[in-house]
Amino acid sequence: MISENLKGFKCLRCGKEFSLKQARYQCPDCSGNLEAVYDYARIGRKADAVKKSLEKGIYRYLPFLPFADTKLTPPLLVGGTPLVKSDRLSSKWGIELFFKDDTRNPSASFKDRAGAVALTVAREDGLDRISCASTGNAGSSLACLAASVGMDCIIFVPEKAPQAKIAQLLLFGAKVFAVQGTYDEAFDLCACVSTEIGCFNRSTGLNPWTREGKKTVSFEIAEDLGWEVPDYVFVPVGDGNIISGVWKGFRELFYAGFTQSIPKIVAVQSKNSDAVHKTLEKYKGKDVSPEEIEMIQVNATTIADSISVDVPRDGLAAVRAVRETDGFSVEISDEAILEAIKEISSNTGLFPEPAGATAYAGLKKALEDRKVKSGSRIVCLVTGSGLKDVASALKAAGKPISVSTDKAETLKILCGK
């Protein structure tokens, strides 16, 4: 059942409001992306139930979600991931540093938050098929969750997508189309075919419900900090949908009276995929309305494949998240990302893929540039597991010490004698 708290949509570009019946994917007027709007006073009255909920994972925040109950949610545990404080890295930088470890989701990425909510909305709508264009985590997440409920799932990937990622999709039982073209062409084909066959299209940017799942990360961060917010949240940015969710989550907590402020949100991008950063730089210090902002496009080549994006499909929301929270953006090299993988893994035991280490790499740059005050409380999102990209892990790893079976040789290395 659709939640009674859900009021409708608001366009992130032109600001017009629509009922749920008037709009479905994008703004009927300007084709901007839509944002779901709730009755926050009403949610606020349920604060006690939320805070005392025994539910694990994202459904403990049910009043903030578009459905009224969990009858049609997938049976896998999504969210409820650990917020890990790193004492050593905190001391090293003179800050209070936490990592939000979203590698611990069912398909080992943050995307499960989006998939779980989108898939539930599709089931509430009575649809029995769900689709998505993807080169990686979004697709494997959707296929994983669809398998858990026995729903038909159609994934469109560019034919050059890595074999390992295609293998995972196939194992989850998805119908996988390898499109002879680019990701953008796979995206368009998915949109076209989905409309034609009446299939729910979860593709990022187009679908307004993914943000409703992604925002739950902010609820968990605030709850784990005792319903306080950190000073900064560092977020890896590709298409801009995750950062838009983080922003929305903190806004909603504030609107509903759960928290007293909204943290500064920092967008981190690779220099080799920096459309959002470039756009932010272009409009820095300028008083422009969302409608006036034109996204810059780039030719992305970063090693961090999950945030390698030419045309950010939720870019305007990303730009607004940074500007409207008084945050900033940082760009870093791919080498800095690989270094960050090693530094995070060896200091915390977390094991991020390149995109998952990007937020921390950006934090280091911000500290160097003195953009962050010492003593600040900071959360870096870790969005995907290093096991998804072993090739990059190999680049960051170094070499083992080769020894014979004779113990004297090893003892000499260990004890220097």
Q: Which of residues 327-356 bind its own copies (CB under 8 A)?
A: 341-342, 345-351
Task: Count the Cβ atoms, other than its own, within 10 Å of residue 10.
Answer: 18
> How far apart are alpha carbons 332 and 343 in whole angstroms?
15
Six-digit token string for 379 = 């959360």
CA distance 205 to 212: 12
Q: Which of 21, 196, 285, 370 binds its own copies (CB under 8 A)?
A: 196
Give the C-alpha separation, 173 to 147, whole Å.
Answer: 7
CB of 393 to its own copies, least distance (A): 5
Residue placing its CB nearer to its own copies in the complex, 221 or 237: 221
Nearer to its own copies, 55 or 324 (CB): 55
CB of 18 to its own copies, least distance (A): 28
Specify the stretch interacting with its own copies by CB under 8 A; choose among 26-34, 247-255, 277-285, 381-389. Answer: 381-389
CB nearer to its own copies: give 39 or 185.
Answer: 185
Segment 391-410, which members bind its own copies (CB under 8 A)? 393-394, 396-405, 407, 410
Query: Which of 362, 81, 40 is CA-nearest to residue 217?
Result: 81
Question: Residues touching its own copies: how many (CB under 8 A)?
Answer: 77
Q: Which of 5, 107, 207, 259 binds its own copies (CB under 8 A)?
A: 107
Show the site string, 218-257: x = touches its own copies by CB under 8 A, - = not: ----------------------------------------
* Comparison of 172 and 209: residue with beta carbon closer to its own copies: 172
> Is 89 one of the binding residues for its own copies (CB under 8 A)?
no
Which of 16, 24, 104, 371 is close enough to bind its own copies by CB under 8 A? 104
Q: Does 82 bind its own copies (CB under 8 A)?
A: yes
Nearer to its own copies, 11 or 337 (CB): 337
Q: CB-wise, 35 or 188, nearer to its own copies?
A: 188
Under the criterion CB under 8 A, does residue 193 sit at the interface with its own copies?
A: yes
State yes or no: residue 311 binds its own copies (CB under 8 A): no
C-alpha distance from residue 177 to each of 160, 192, 239, 243 (Å): 12, 14, 22, 29
d(CA 411, CA 39): 67
Q: Which of 66, 74, 263, 315 binds its own copies (CB under 8 A)?
A: 74
| Closest distance to its own copies from the beta carbon of 223 (Å) | 13
d(CA 103, CA 354): 12
Strand-pair category, 232-236 with 264-270:
parallel
Smallest separation (angstroms) from its own copies to the CB of 358:
16
User: 383, 236 in Cβ contact below 8 A?
Assistant: yes
Query: CB under 8 Å to 176, separation ≥6 — which residues?
Result: 155, 157, 166, 169, 170
What per-residue string of b and e applies to 211-231 under the rule 16 or more CB within 10 Å gives b? bbbbbbbbbbbbbbbeeebbb
Q: Which of 12, 36, 97, 166 binds its own copies (CB under 8 A)?
A: 166
Site string for its own copies, 259-288 (x = CB under 8 A): ------------------------------
Q: Using the rule CB under 8 A, is 320 a contact of its own copies?
A: no
Using CB under 8 A, which of 145, 233, 318, 340 touches its own copies?
145
- CB 127, min distance to its own copies, A: 15
Tell me how far, at minimum, the Cβ of 164 lies from its own copies, in Å.
4
Among 8, 28, 181, 290, binds its own copies (CB under 8 A): 181
Q: For residues 314 and 352, what is the distance between their CA atoms, to the nearest angstrom?
A: 23
- CA geometry: angle 381, 214, 361, nearest 5 deg: 20
CA distances from 341 to 29, 204, 304, 325, 338 (A): 43, 26, 11, 28, 5
Residue 119 or 243: the one with the smaller Cβ distance to its own copies is 119
Neighbours of 386 (CB within 10 A): 22
The burial of 362, by beta-carbon neighbours within 10 Å (0-12 exposed, 13-18 middle, 19 or more buried), is given as buried
And the tokens for 215? Answer: 């925002």
